[in-house]
Amino acid sequence: MGTDLNAPLGQGRRKRAARRLNPRRIVAHALLATCVFAVLGLSGWSAFAPDRLIRTPATVEDATAVAVPGTEGPSERSGDAKHGTVRVSGALSGARVEEIVTGDGATVTKYTPRPRGSDGPALISAGPTRGQDPRMAALPNEDLLEATPEGRLPIVGPEGLRPMDQYARPWSGTRGTRIALVVGGLGLSQTGTLRAIQALPPDVTLAFAAAGNSLQRWMQEARRDGHEILLQIPMEPFDYPSSDPGPQALLVSQSQRKNLAELHRSMGRITNYTGIMNYLGGRFLSDADALGPVMRDLGKRGLLFLDDGTSAQSLSGTLAGAFDVPHGFADMVVDGELSRGAILRRLDELERVARRNGTAVGVASAFEESVAAIAEWMEEAGGRGIEFVGVSAVVKDPQQN
């Protein structure tokens, strides 16, 4: 067939039959177009909306750089980058973040939940914390201290954490036979203090005399070894002044204000203790007017009181109950006679008391004979199913009843 070069374009050609539209293909194209427009629209909205759909989770860096209402500011640091430095900051999650430099140069980060002051996830409280990470046991929790003219004194933390709970020695929580042994008089003799810390098992509670020397340094040594700590406060005995409890003693003849000032001066010499124990004090403990303000102060500060049990006229149990103070009585002094045989016999008697009552508390002084006999006996008694615990585990605690 020839071609007519003079014919206009498109003319003289055979017309093609019209294409029939496929309904299924039309539907498929429509659905594809709808999906494309939906994806593009959603992407654009999420990119330009004030509150984006995808949020970047807060990191540890965020926690140290952003303040949230109800928490600390962006970051708070005390000290420099040396041993014991503590960095505290508020996190977006409502956590308290503490960075502590240990003696070997390592940095330990501690995260503690706290109530949030703004909208966000709810934090569930599982009750008070007991004990510290052993790597930080020698360092005080700054939230549990207040600065006063008498020194830094223990207080209940903003979330209800008591010093008694923070510095308690952890234990199994079982209800078997438990014995708490308390060895007092530490800090008075440098040699005796070092011997007690090194020779006694960490389950023994150590009581430091308020009149001792280098108390904070010795406390740190004891805490690193796992011991729970008490502070011994001198109090007026019945035969005062023939028997003198020492400087800063609490006296019945002194005013309430004077006794509290002396108490606070003693308390400010050391940190990281779970409570107070009397040194002497028969007369003071039997006088409700003198003892009452002291018990009230201990209750407000979240400390326990251990009565050494040497005064039958003591009102410490009655007043402790009135002011919600965790309280305990020692069942016996195990080194009234200072010989190895006598001390071992008293410890055996203490074990019988514990098996009969479930718990028992024995007290002793940091004499060489006492330390050696207690360490020997505890090694044997541990094989008889006895659990040795810090004194905080056996006191009567109003918050646990």
Question: Which H or E element spans position 183?
Answer: strand 178-186
Task: Judge contact between 324 and 398, C-beta under 8 A.
Answer: yes
Q: Please determine, for residue 363, whether its predicted confidence score (pLDDT) is greater than 70.
A: yes
Q: What angle do CA 150, 191, 394 make, to 5 degrees?
A: 65
Q: What angle is formed at CA 325 by the lines to CA 323 and CA 326, rounded to 5 degrees?
A: 155
pLDDT of residue 152: 97
User: Is 218 or 85 the better-scoring residue by pLDDT?
Assistant: 218
Bridge partners (DSSP) listed for residue 280: 235
325 pLDDT band, cuts 50/70/90, is: very high
Helix ranges (H only) for 305-339 are: 316-322
* Topology annotation, domain 163-400: TIM Barrel (3.20.20)
Q: Token pair of 222, please?
A: 């004891």
The reply to whether the predicted model has a pTM over 0.85 is: no
Which value, in Å, is the radius of gyration of the alpha carbons in the chain? 35
User: Which pLDDT band, with edges at 50, 70 and 90, does 110 fall under?
Assistant: low
Q: Of the given ranges (26-30, 195-199, 256-260, 372-376), which has the lowest mean pLDDT?
A: 26-30
Outline which parts of the chain fall under CATH 3.20.20.370. 163-400
Geometric angle at alpha carbon 114, from 54 and 296, rounded to 5°: 170
Residue 90 backbone dihedrals phi, psi, to 5 degrees: -95, 135
